[in-house]
Amino acid sequence: MAKIEVLTLSSLASLAISPKSLYVVGYSWLFGTSVWVTFFGGIIAFKALPRQYFGALQHKTFPIYFLQSIALSSCLLARWVYTHPNVLTYITQPNVADVAQAYALGSVILSQGANKFVIGPLTSKTMFQRQRLEKEEGKNYSDAGVSPAMKALNRRFGILHGVSSLLNLSAVIALGFHGLWIGNAGV
């Protein structure tokens, strides 16, 4: 028969400082934010806001999101390696389950780092260049007969946005993999 646990103030307080509890809360926060930003928040904002306002919102939101992703996944990775010392022993063997989890968390750091420090700033810069050129030309970027300069900016923006989206999606997939693992095997 299963032992009945009784909640006390002391047992509740211990939950708040338990490394395992904090790991799960940190992971949940990161995964939830990633799913929301990737599949819901941006789509809602795109449909609800004029394009320039949407771009300005994304320009302000995404650096914070990427930084949060880097910070939380770095903390999770550090804790994972600390509690799974075999990761360092088998670091070159990604088929070792604990190492695969470290690789998953590391890939989140790398992909969101690339987005935060390289792709995101280039995408924003291109977006603002395109908006300035729209004002100068008196045409939207998608209008027929835009200048060759606008076509070049459209192509550059499309490539950068696509790369950023793929990097972000890879982070969400890696986090999903990690969540499935910890849900089954624990932290």
pLDDT in tens, 77-118: 999 999 999 999 999 999 999 999 999 999 999 999 999 999
- Picking from 113, 36, 35, the residue whose alpha carbon sits closest to that of residue 73 is 113
Q: Which residues contact 48 (CB under 8 A, 6 or more apart)?
A: none
Instruction: Return the pLDDT at 1.
Output: 77
- Picking from 141, 165, 154, the residue whose alpha carbon sits closest to that of residue 58 is 165
pTM of the entire structure?
0.94
Dist CA 59 CA 3 (whole Å):
52
Span 6-43, pLDDT tens digits = 999 998 899 889 999 999 999 999 999 999 999 999 99
Mean pLDDT of the chain: 97
Does residue 157 sit within a domain? Answer: yes
Whole-number percent of the chain with pLDDT over 70: 100
Does residue 2 sit within a domain? Answer: no
Does residue 145 sit within a domain? Answer: yes
Total domains, the chain: 1
Domain enclosing residue 111, as ranges? 21-185
The overall longest dimension of the chain from CA atoms, in Å, is 76
> What mean pLDDT comes out for the span 140-160?
96
